[in-house]
Amino acid sequence: MMQIPFQKTIAHVARVSGRGYWTGKNVSLTFLPAEPDTGIVFRRIDLTGEPMIPALAEYRSDAQLRTKLVCDGASVEMVEHVLAALYGMGIDNCIVECDACEMPAMDGSAIEMAIAIDQAGTRLQGMRAREICIDSLLRVGDDRSGVEAIPAAGMHASGLELRYHLDFGPKSVIPSSTSSYVLTPSEFLVNIAPARTFLSEHDAKELQRMGVAQHVTYRDLIVFGNDGPIDNTLRFPDECSRHKLLDLIGDLALCGARVRGTIIARRSGHNLNGRMAEHLLNLHLAEQHPLSHVA
């Protein structure tokens, strides 16, 4: 018999700090316990009035190579790793205080955040968790680059299975790989959270030529040259597709609920991931208020 899933928040306060990739500014994050049905909310304590920004797809704003949220004129960006850490570690409700717009890059992964959340512990709350059960095919993008959600089957029917196919073609210096996991806190902490951001040497130089990420070195993420990672080594043979899974988890968290089903992504990025999160959020709202969505 399936157990009733209750909402969770962190048991104790957790903190991390670092520099942003894009701005180079130092930023500190404080993860605070939150009441049931709060969801994940960012609080900009550096701004007047300390505005709150809910981590929901309706507040997503397109940005280059990152996920950005905007609410009532206040924004936070590069939120995907923070959201992945919370979602991957099974946290439903949390207030994330930050003192800058851009979240810390850390080492290009979510491992420090995941460890901090793990050490803070979890507290069960007396409210049923919000869930989305995928019962039919959902798809964004196309066969070349897209995300699809399908019903789960068999032993994984009560959880979320994730699969990412990474293939930029035979001329790309970034190796092709496929990663697949059933999401649990332990799987996330060990196999997904440590996977780091990556890009090609050509793209890295182009970004710096544009004046972005001037402080970032080859040790702050994975930069691929013709002969593989430059001044760095991979943590996993499929680290790139694992990192894409990490981003996918963070973006899917914007649906505001636990997802039951299978998500398969091919060469997707934040835009496609975010569009899928929008579909899932709309599905969740339709399940809550079915009559308001009848044409």
Catalytic residues: 270
CA dist 255 and 268 (Å) reads 17
The single-letter code of the amino acid at 246 is L
Could you tell me if 114 and 280 are in contact, meaning their C-beta atoms sit under 8 angstroms apart? Answer: no
Backbone angles phi, psi at 88, to 5 degrees: -65, -30
The position carrying tokens 């190579």 is 65
